[in-house]
Chains A and B, each alone.
Chain A
């Protein structure tokens, strides 16, 4: 593909002032998806579902940016927001609050109802204001600004008019990275750290069961075949261990239930 052809291709990407038929169709397909994702995020009980709903909304917004003559900002939206920020959210969710679902109990009585009423009122105000302000407004479109391609246009502005803001943004990112490290760092004293020898000794000390603990959801105290099943009264059923295997004999201290 020649350079002129490439330029023509990018020129078709530039959004005209008015929405074309294709763009209108894309909008009416994606807008309900974006709205549904947003509502699903607020309503989902499970925080992981919320995050995935938000990813859906952000993807549709990225497509909107590309449709509106901003392929660079659209791709940045998909890479930075859905790719980096939401994955960070999922990481922290898995570390922190996956199973801590919201409490249904209201701390302040009527808070939810009040929030809903406020939200509806706010939406009404903004929509009415927008509708009045934008009635009969004309839209220029990015055809001219994007004539040489969107990325060169953005770069030209970013490194001339906005170059100071750009530098400040880099300082901000560095500060944020250092701040996150300071906040997430755990300070350990030198003597606090236990050596492997000490760990091994505590593991094999009497009263501690040395083998790995059974996986979550397993009610048995061990998942070894040699561990006899328990009778309803708590005594081990020796017959439950297959003949060739000797029932495991543990000193009384080690049989204590493992936490």
Chain B
């Protein structure tokens, strides 16, 4: 059995994350869904590394992890500062830039 099933699982996880981004309102949960999508991409990269027989894919997954860590730090700081001014973590409430 080739490791195709890992790729299918990653596709399913990515889809769940995308649907979560679309239907959830809490900014932090939306952010967690984005993390889930990044993780799904990582699983794909690691599986491709194994199928190709080189660890390049694992290194790419490692870089994705680094970027995700940086993104989480900045994103959560932005959510915090929005919460401080608007007293809300709902993405529907931050609509001042609309129109």
Closest residue of chain B to A24 (Cβ to Cβ) is B1
Q: Mark B34-70, 1 if CB is under 8 A from A, else 0.
A: 0110010011001101111111101101110111111
Does A84 count as interface, using CB distance less than 8 angstroms? Answer: yes
- The answer to whether B62 and A154 have CB atoms under 8 Å apart is yes
- The answer to whether A65 and B23 have CB atoms under 8 Å apart is no
Closest residue of chain A to B72 (Cβ to Cβ) is A85
- The answer to whether B81 and A80 have CB atoms under 8 Å apart is no
Interface 9-mer from A3-11, A97-105, A202-210, A243-251: A97-105
- The answer to whether A89 and B31 have CB atoms under 8 Å apart is yes
Min CB gap A7→B, angstroms: 17
Does A158 count as interface, using CB distance less than 8 angstroms? Answer: yes
- The answer to whether A89 and B32 have CB atoms under 8 Å apart is yes
Question: Total interface residues on B, using CB and 8 Å?
Answer: 72
Q: Which of A18, A95, A138 has the most CB of B within 10 A?
A: A95
- The answer to whether B20 and A41 have CB atoms under 8 Å apart is yes
- The answer to whether A145 and B25 have CB atoms under 8 Å apart is no
Closest residue of chain B to A74 (Cβ to Cβ) is B46
- The answer to whether B55 and A142 have CB atoms under 8 Å apart is yes
Q: Mark A68-112, 1 if CB is under 8 A from B, else 0.
A: 111011001100110011001100110111001111000100011
- The answer to whether B16 and A150 have CB atoms under 8 Å apart is no
Does A54 count as interface, using CB distance less than 8 angstroms? Answer: yes
18 A-B pairs (CB sep. < 8 Å): A41-B16, A41-B36, A54-B36, A65-B42, A70-B50, A72-B58, A76-B65, A81-B68, A85-B72, A88-B76, A95-B80, A96-B79, A97-B26, A100-B89, A145-B55, A157-B59, A176-B71, A183-B80
